[in-house]
Amino acid sequence: MALDRWVALVLLGICMAYGYTAWFTMDATLPPIMKRLAVWPSSFPKVLSIAGIVLCLIVLSGIEKGEEKIGDIDYRRLHEYNLGQAIALLALMVAYALLLRPAGFLLATSGFLIGGSVLLGERRWITMIVVASIATLGIWYLVQEVLGIFLRPLPFFLGT
């Protein structure tokens, strides 16, 4: 079996466990007043689990397969790919997760976006800073003001 089908099989198991949790475990603990709402807290996980199961079944059945293209990744030749860049991006993601609370959302997210674009080869510093700042401020505004979810914008030593 090809690598993509093994990954789809593992993801199918994860999606089924996630769906079981969303359909049975989450709904059982809802208070009675929440059960009268049109959209429950488990609605989005239910949709995600169904979509994941359908997509995994599509990959497992091979419907999406066409002719093999020259540009496909050959997992037997991973040593020829730029793994250092991928590992550095994963390390940057871990650093972002660890710095999110102490450094604040604005600084951590801007640093992650700028660092990621540098790792991927971008060298136009002004463009990187402007795009990262606009994206960070836009996301912070949507989460903080529109959704009403508190997201610490600044480092902890500068206050809330």
Between CA 157 and CA 46 the distance in angstroms is: 40
Question: Which pLDDT score is estimated for 115?
Answer: 93
Q: Which residues of the chain have pLDDT under 70?
A: 1, 65-75, 157, 159-160
Between CA 9 and CA 154 the distance in angstroms is: 42
Question: Which pLDDT score is estimated for 74?
Answer: 67
Q: What is the pLDDT of residues 106-133, one digit of tens each?
A: 999 999 999 999 998 888 899 999 999 9
CB 115 within 8 A of CB 88: no
Question: Which pLDDT score is estimated for 85?
Answer: 87
Residue 141 CB neighbours (<10 A): 13
Question: Which pLDDT score is estimated for 30?
Answer: 78
Structural domain spans, the chain: 3-67, 81-158
Using the structure block, give the residue that is written with the tokens 């809802």.
30
Question: Which pLDDT score is estimated for 68?
Answer: 62
CB 104 within 8 A of CB 152: yes
Q: Rounded to two decimals, what is the model's pTM? A: 0.55
CB 27 within 8 A of CB 41: no
